Amino acid sequence: MENLEIITKNSTNLLPIVPLRGKVAFPHTNVSFEVGRKMTLRAIDLASNSGDRLVFIISQRETEKDEIGASDLYTVGCVAKIKQVAQLTGGAIRVLCEGLYRAKARVVSFGEDSGCFYGVADPISVKHADEILEEAYFRTAKALVKDVLTADGKLPKETISKLERINNPEEYVDVVVSAMRVRLEIKQTILEEERVIERLKLFERCLNDELEISKIEKKIATAVRQSIDKNQKEYFLREQLKAIHTELGDDGKEEDEYRQKVLAKNLPADLEEKCLKEIGRMGKMQPSSPEYTVITGYLEQVLALPWAEETEDTESLKDCTAVLEEDHYGLEKIKERITEYLAVLKLTGSMKAPILCFVGPPGVGKTSIAKSVARALGRKFVRMSLGGVKDEAEIRGHRRTYIGAMPGRIMYGMKNAGSINPVFLLDEIDKITSDIHGDPAGALLEVLDPEQNSTFRDRYIEYPYDLSKVMFITTANSLETIPAPLRDRMEIIELSGYTQEEKVEIARRYLIPKQLAANGLTDNNAFFTEDGVRATIEGYTREAGVRTLERTIGTLCRKVAVQYADDKNLPLVTVNADMVPSFLGSPRFKKEDERFDKEVGAVTGLAWTAVGGSTLTVEAMLMPGKGELKLTGKLGDVMKESAMAALTYIRAHADKYGISSDKFSSYDLHVHVPDGATPKDGPSAGITIATAILSVFTGRTVRGDIAMTGEISLRGKVLPIGGLKEKSLAARRVGIATVIIPEGNARDVEDLPDVVKKDVRFLPVKSVDEVFEVVLEGGKRYDNPFAEEPTQKPKTPRKKRIPTPVPPMTENNRDGVRCNEK
């Protein structure tokens, strides 16, 4: 490359060279070709990123040769401008270029840095002779073109119309020869000729050869027609086309290859017929035609899809269960559901695949369990993220009439799977949105409906595709944002947060070995004690899943790796509770943070969010004003309505609680729920807000070591809530031992983990007054929440009052009772 740089130091014609196989590029025409070799891909890439997008296209002498040098290229080529680059399967590209002018390669060299050939393209100057003689040859050539090519329909209509407007013999020859099917050497000779008259002579000789070929074609047609039956018209046309290609030196390999692939693919009969028709259309087009590229792209996509390929499911239920147990700890509902599916499949021989939806906070293993399900069943696994998808075409694909059309992501997933029964994960289904381009959730209705997905239609493929054997698994953090019709089509399996004991076991089995290997350590380098893992969980993570825990364990492993990098003979490092702070610093969450003091107007509540359960403090405060209610803390509409209902109940029963009615009109009430940047909504904080309001109006302190959750009604009833497991885990995580719940949720306590039921006591209540008796100072059960209600003495029934008899109405007693009262 050094010599080339010296020679072309002051040259402006140094261009990347594109070696062209089997074709010759001419000026004044478009040339289309596929690129697969690295050096050619590199040349196209360099030219595409340049300002002028110019390449030097030179034909290759030996078409079949892959590894070439400068001597394997002709010396004359065409400088062209890149107009379009289209990606094909397998990493290849199709390029469309516009020929500008002929040029001779003065210097050709391979650049080691650039990875492609470069050459100095010196434009070829045309040499004219006698103008009258040139015009005579030009007219003769035009007459031959009209007789030989135009009459027989061997030139496309667009080329014929273009020729009528050309008066330059150079341009005329370039346009016609580029469209003719002649040998590479003949085209190259015409391209290299600088003298106009000699070029016209070569052109006329080529046209005369074409005339002879036309005569041979007729002979071949007659011979073939006599040798086959009239009912075999399609076979006759193929044989004729084959014979024509043989005479022209072009055997039509691409069309034959596609035809063989279609016939060998075992496609449905009507789809196979459709593909063969497309191949027939392709054979009648010029490779440079845009429609040619569209057809080849469509055929590639159809042939890449699995139509009958299928993997066999695992037959042994024990093997399936063993894989699930090996990969994940807990998650019993999912393991049980997959085992049920295999059992039914084994008994019936065939069944529609279930459509499961795993719902839970981040980090609990929704995506990883889907991979394990695929491994347990012995199926291929495909993942498609739906987060941020807002265009319906992402699911259904684009119509082929659009430029750059492609299949939807469902079809891409099936192509990558290579079988018709993979495990297909639709991740983050609750994050899809919609805009002017359509609603992706509506498109998913067909995909996730077992009654419809056997005939799913992608707009690009334009043929019903069977998705009924696909096991679709979706994941979500919350069901609230999933449209009801879509939610109705899925079997919901909720994944709750992990207890501390489960996190310790998961860390011991999976996270620690994974992070040791990722950081170049072994069991001989570091050992995590149980108290060390617990200290990490309690002091540095506060989450429903184990994602932050895994990152924290990774940090500990890196700290150990630093020590071994300095001294490889270091003995085993034991990571215990005392060593964790020296590696990670002071704990982010301390026990001091979990102490709840008795305060006025501050109540501990429980919340359930998309990331798991958490505790929250509802604060209330009075200030002189006009009786207005102010709500802050980024509360949703439902939570604001709960606060209004709580205030209404307390105002309606102010006498019972010893509150002056004037106090409601002379003071403003401010209710705040920290932290203010986090959105909050839902009705389950109703009794928490009511307790805070009553506390601040009466001045009675609230027990801070008791948490509560429940919806309040205007009659003071405590209504059931959801997410009890997540909320109870959050209470246990911060050290709360007593939780007030609605009586309607008492049955859900049985489903909670044993460690939660051991450490947390649940107090079911029917009315909000029971809550006040437990948590407000002076309440009957303030000191002992679980004390039974004191038995009340039966009241002595009142004596019935005998009404005074009313005298009959007379003239002297017209007013009846009123007169008697007087």
Active-site residues: which are they?
684, 727
Structure tokens at 566: 């300095």
Question: φ, ψ for residue 497 (rounded to 5)?
Answer: -70, 165
CA distance 376 to 459: 34
Cis peptide before 531 (omega within 30 of 0): no
CA distance 742 to 740: 7
Structure tokens at 446: 């067909």
Q: Where are the alpha helices (DSSP H) in 349-407?
A: 366-377, 393-396
User: What ranges make up the beta strands (E) of 286-444?
Assistant: 355-359, 381-385, 423-427
Whose tokens are 């008795």? That residue is 598
CA distance 686 to 692: 10
Structure tokens at 584: 């990670």
CA distance 474 to 317: 23
56: burial class by Cβ within 10 Å (0-12, 13-18, 19+)?
Answer: buried
Contact criterion met (CB below 8 Å) for 271 and 302: yes
CA distance 510 to 517: 11
- Residue 517, C-beta contacts closer than 8 angstroms, at least 6 positions apart: none
Going by DSSP bridges, is the β-strand pair 30-35/355-359 parallel, antiparallel, or unpaired? unpaired
User: How many separate helices (H) and strands (E) can be counted in the chain?
Assistant: 30, 24
Give the number of other CB atoms < 10 A from CB of residue 675: 10
Structure tokens at 183: 């040998």
Q: What is the DSSP letter of 48?
A: H
Which 3 state secondary structure label does DSSP give 58? strand
- If we measure between CA atoms, which residue out of 173, 174, 185, 176 comes closest to residue 60? 185
State the number of CA atoms in the 13 A half-sphere of 481 facing the CB: 15
Whose tokens are 């290299």? That residue is 192
Percent of the chain as helix, strand, coil, to the nearest 5: 45, 20, 35
Contact criterion met (CB below 8 Å) for 388 and 431: yes
CA distance 661 to 654: 7
Q: What is the amino acid identity at position 3?
A: N
Query: How far is Cα of residue 403 from the mean position of the Cα atoms in its chain?
Result: 23
Q: What is the amino acid identity at position 593?
A: D
Q: Where are the alpha helices (DSSP H) in 151-289?
A: 157-163, 169-179, 184-192, 196-227, 233-248, 253-264, 269-283
Q: Where are the alpha helices (DSSP H) in 111-156?
A: 131-145
Q: What is the DSSP letter of 437?
A: T
Structure tokens at 23: 């074709």
CA distance 56 to 70: 13
Angle between helices 196-227 and 233-248 (to 10 degrees): 150
CA distance 148 to 179: 13
- Give CA angle at 236 (234, 239), nearest 5°: 115
Q: Where are the alpha helices (DSSP H) in 405-439?
A: 409-417
Structure tokens at 616: 């929250």
